[in-house]
Amino acid sequence: MRVKVVYSNQLNRVFGKFDNPASVSPTPTRQLSYNYLASVNLWLLLFPCDLCCDWTMGTVPLVESFGDVRNLTTLAAYSLLGVLVWMAFVQVDRQKAAVIVMIKKYFKLNTHREYYALAHTAIRPLKSGKD
């Protein structure tokens, strides 16, 4: 009952042009802006000093053309993500790959074989004694 009362107004919320201008933009602008927002969020994850309580009303301007300089930040963010994924699955050195692949506890894998099948890198957790 409480969920229905508290969240009844939130379920029917319709975001307008001022709340989310990228959603009502034409196709290339929408995709470029959404991809730029991924790089902005990566930046905020690493450097949260620029956090804002309200991101509406054009706080992040739309990326309207392929020639916009902000597309370079998008390219850099996706390149960084690609390099990290490549390092996680191709890296031979287990210590370097362990920095990237930290999913054993998340998926609650019990055996080394299950973990190897999922992560492909066979990173073993640090054990006391023999390795």
- The type of residue at 44 is L
95 lies in a domain?
yes
8 lies in a domain?
no
13 lies in a domain?
no
pLDDT at 83: 85
Range of the domain at 107: 28-127
CA–CA gap between residue 37 and residue 31 (Å, rounded): 10
The tens digit of pLDDT for each residue in 7-28 reads 665 666 676 777 788 888 888 9
Structurally, how many domains does the chain consist of?
Answer: 1
55 lies in a domain?
yes
Q: What is the pTM of this model?
A: 0.60
